[in-house]
Structure 1
């Protein structure tokens, strides 16, 4: 039988590195998968090992010591519709609280256990296993700079790595061989580390067929690339420097009495006054708050634009499908050019040219410049037709000024909604931490036919204004291509680099394609009739690279 190479299986959707891919492969070969997880160190849900599992229908408990991050994860879970899958608790996990954590989780055998607390991980793992906890798959952060010996840091429930090692922050956690010394005797097989040198993986042998265990190929060691790159030193040099520090204590786990170490530390802690004892701390296990279902849903408005010819060809159908299928409470702003579509309570009409004087000036300035319209002699290049693509950018800017929505969605006018869209669908498209949601593509410019903007956030409005300024100032002509998408991608790079905004891929976890709209969640309710697809009234069957179950797609036409 063929080997299962875990290094080549790595991919990242929400994990810090390639853990999502490794965990997917390991879990897919379990004899009896139950799709449950416990993650300690889950953060706010944006980057961890459980969010991708939630997207795949798993359920479990996430714990983090940061109350704010747990609150953000809870809000994200509510918006993504995970209230029945996700439980969360806030507080620091230590040797002393492991028993309470196990009580909250309620099972000794999750499919996946992920541990990443950057501190006394060995002592916590020891207590879990000692108390009968037997996850089928273990993913645990290890510290490669602790070298080959089976060592860990000393026990300290108030552990802060940069307080011990302010120069590098590399004094934390567990060496690889210390973890192997601890975990393997409990019936686990070491299956390697990820190539970025952050996590070690073990599988419980009786959870797999024997022949499956023999097929795993793995990387048996790697230095953490983020630190090697950060300090511009080799892994060996960082290891030698850390182990030579005279002020740091490295504990050999072969002679370590974990319980005694924990008790010795607890004995040194000052005892709280009796009246302060109850509210003093909320341990991780004190309460497991479910995802809050009381949060109010944001208000959504759409915005689109077309001219008279576009209204007849596709705009009319788009407006009718919005009116018929979009959720109650949504509104559409139509920025119309040289036409007057009918207005309703749900569909508001604005004159594009009256609302966007800067657009008028841009078009007038280049009225006699065929190159600005993508024409160079007999050649027409749609990616250089700056005038054509400027309309939507100015339409978004205008709508962002007069809309009172929480989230403004730019929607191309050649999109049709083919079935009733629940509000929960819109709520689940983009987590609360994200400022702008869109569909990037790996091999070309992003798909900007459907973009979500949290317009009540000032920096999002700055992004929108800067987008249109590329046309207003003619800066567009400094880019290699002149579409709104090329500007958008440039701004995403700049705002991400400067940490001014947080962007979310609406198709996260979906394979890349030339037609991402219909292959992601949007394809469950809408079709984007871009290009020649307008003539047939539906996208092509060959556009689909994922299986769709909606009746609309059952008779997709051939190209």
Structure 2
């Protein structure tokens, strides 16, 4: 029976080298294909091992440490109609995040697994296998310059190969025989290396007919041509030079305790001050491209006075305590009242925490216009004092909260069923700095706004928001609510590309009550205005069909 020559099968459409052709041929011989993939190190989708698969109708998960690139891949997927085929995740994969990856993937036996992270690949592969992951075809980057011994680099989640090896950048990854040592006991057969010396391929033996396995023919080994050409040295010379470096650690996997190495790193890992994060590109991310390997920490913030506490604040706090996910916290900025404090609900005095608010209120104490009153007429959109409270509350909470994402939540919002952490994670993609609900026909709905407060520019946005009241700049606007200031700042920060904003109701029809018609309405109701008296929003507020039991008996207006 004729051989299946995988070297001649190589061709490149979107892969770095000839991996597209190799993977296509290998997959064509699977006994029970499901056309699913997982690619770690998928980049922006322009050069990887999964984009060609998407073009051929496959589906799967792509992961990359660079959220910018994930955003670009997501945008391309949207434009080309692959949204329903693809889940994208921003995050660095390590020994400890593998279980989260498997939870996202939800498939322990995809047809193809591609791993290329230029660093601790061996440790990651080891953990995948230990967790029961059994892909049918594996395409793994290897390092031919590590030679014949089964060795890998030391475990370091902050691995940067040019920091270890500034001269060449050749200290990274796994040797061929280290991968064979790891994979073959799990029933994988080595079928060869590509001719450019970047990737090696393994197949799970029980996923192929035995006669097919014997027919595969490929290179046993190849040095990476890009480095050979770059340094104008033979592969053997580069190998010998690398292995002779006295400052580098080459770990023999035959005696390596992977879990102990990872735990030792975690224990010794230095704690660094948070560094500013680069804003991510403004793209519309379809499907679940906003997932992350590590969930952010969420804190809420709200504010009310004594009358508001009795009218709606008490119920709001109780529903937060009962239904919001474990690990979330609520900062209550209370004015002239003392709500009960718990581990999940932290109470601060609004006026003590916000001296600029006190000064603003005192400065306009004798100015009824600043409170929206002009003779017998009251205009709530000109009641600057009323709306200033929430802006100052957010500024104060952003200073003392240690959360990743601070959520301003109006105190007349009630949560009617348990909210999973995954729901909060789904609200806003990782590239976005601030998430809110814009409206086409009027000012934005700012009853629920997410801020990534560890990003310095977000902190500046929050402070500039309150400065409109502190400096009386609000009176230069046509209307004086927090929402009108917010919209002005969104305009300015978007124009100057200082921040990226996300519509929480992306794809939802515009309405006067966007809160309950978007994803938030699946767990919460916003009892704004007269809705507080009846304890529920009106049936006429809903312009989308809601399946939650809470909405089954929506009251009439």
- TM-score normalised over the length of structure 1: 0.54
Equivalent position to 1:339, from 337, 340, 361: 337
Aligned 8 A contact 2:291 2:430 in 1: no
Note the C-alpha offset of 1:423.
0.7
Q: How do 1:121-136 and structure 2 match up within 5 A?
A: none
Q: How do 1:30-109 and structure 2 match up within 5 A?
A: 44-45=72-73, 47-50=75-78, 58-60=84-86, 71=90, 83=105
Note the C-alpha offset of 1:60.
3.5
Q: Which residue of 1 aligns with 2:492?
A: 494
| Aligned mates of 2:393, 2:436 — CA distance in 1 | 17
Note the C-alpha offset of 1:270.
9.1
Q: Which residue of 2 aligns with 1:311?
A: 309
String of CA shifts for 1:479-536, please: whole Å, max 9, x gaps: 0100000000111111111111111111111111111111111111000000111011
| Aligned mates of 2:380, 2:236 — CA distance in 1 | 70
| Aligned mates of 2:384, 2:80 — CA distance in 1 | 39
Q: Which residue of 2 aligns with 1:369?
A: 367
| Aligned mates of 1:277, 1:437 — CA distance in 2 | 54
Q: Which residue of 2 aligns with 1:263?
A: none
| Aligned mates of 2:497, 2:381 — CA distance in 1 | 29
| Aligned mates of 2:331, 2:87 — CA distance in 1 | 41
| Aligned mates of 1:53, 1:325 — CA distance in 2 | 36
Equivalent position to 1:327, from 322, 325, 328: 325
Note the C-alpha offset of 1:50.
2.8
String of CA shifts for 1:383-432, please: whole Å, max 9, x gaps: 01000000000000011111111111000000000000011111111111
Q: 1:42 to 1:317 in 2, by over 3 A?
A: closer
Q: Which residue of 2 aligns with 1:509?
A: 507
Equivalent position to 2:467, from 462, 469, 472: 469
Equivalent position to 2:422, from 416, 421, 424: 424
| Aligned mates of 2:314, 2:80 — CA distance in 1 | 39
Q: 1:543 to 1:82 in 2, by over 3 A?
A: farther
Equivalent position to 2:385, from 362, 384, 387: 387
Aligned 8 A contact 1:303 1:410 in 2: yes
Across the aligned residues of Structure 1 and Structure 2, the Cα RMSD in angstroms comes to 3.8
Q: Which residue of 1 aligns with 2:477?
A: 479
Aligned 8 A contact 1:42 1:50 in 2: no
Q: 1:294 to 1:509 in 2, by over 3 A?
A: closer
Equivalent position to 1:444, from 434, 442, 445: 442
String of CA shifts for 1:205-236, please: whole Å, max 9, x gaps: xxxxxxxxxxxxxxxxxxxxxxxxxxxxxxxx
Q: 1:347 to 1:53 in 2, by over 3 A?
A: farther
Note the C-alpha offset of 1:558.
1.0
Q: Which residue of 2 aligns with 1:399?
A: 397
Q: Which residue of 1 aligns with 2:17?
A: none
Aligned 8 A contact 1:326 1:420 in 2: yes
Q: 1:39 to 1:352 in 2, by over 3 A?
A: closer
Q: 1:42 to 1:470 in 2, by over 3 A?
A: closer
Q: How do 1:235-246 and structure 2 match up within 5 A?
A: none
Q: Which residue of 1 aligns with 2:349?
A: 351
**Counterpart check, 1:275 vs 2:242:** no
Note the C-alpha offset of 1:300.
0.7
Q: Which residue of 1 aligns with 2:134?
A: none
Aligned 8 A contact 1:45 1:51 in 2: no
Q: Which residue of 2 aligns with 1:409?
A: 407
Note the C-alpha offset of 1:48.
3.0
Q: How do 1:201-220 and structure 2 match up within 5 A?
A: none
Q: How do 1:254-265 and structure 2 match up within 5 A?
A: none
| Aligned mates of 1:277, 1:404 — CA distance in 2 | 51
Q: 1:61 to 1:558 in 2, by over 3 A?
A: closer
- TM-score normalised over the length of structure 2: 0.54
| Aligned mates of 1:357, 1:314 — CA distance in 2 | 26
3-state DSSP of counterpart to 2:556: coil
Q: How do 1:12-31 and structure 2 match up within 5 A?
A: none
Aligned 8 A contact 1:39 1:49 in 2: no
Aligned 8 A contact 1:436 1:502 in 2: yes
Aligned 8 A contact 1:374 1:384 in 2: yes
3-state DSSP of counterpart to 1:47: helix
Q: Which residue of 2 aligns with 1:537?
A: 535
| Unaligned 5+ runs, structure 1 | 1-33, 63-69, 92-102, 106-266, 280-289
Aligned 8 A contact 1:408 1:452 in 2: yes
Aligned 8 A contact 2:291 2:425 in 1: no
| Aligned mates of 1:316, 1:292 — CA distance in 2 | 33
Note the C-alpha offset of 1:44.
2.8
Q: 1:316 to 1:38 in 2, by over 3 A?
A: closer
3-state DSSP of counterpart to 1:48: helix
Q: 1:442 to 1:472 in 2, by over 3 A?
A: same
Q: Which residue of 2 aligns with 1:518?
A: 516
Q: 1:291 to 1:352 in 2, by over 3 A?
A: closer
| Unaligned 5+ runs, structure 2 | 1-55, 63-68, 117-136, 140-224, 240-287
Aligned 8 A contact 2:331 2:397 in 1: yes
Q: 1:372 to 1:418 in 2, by over 3 A?
A: same
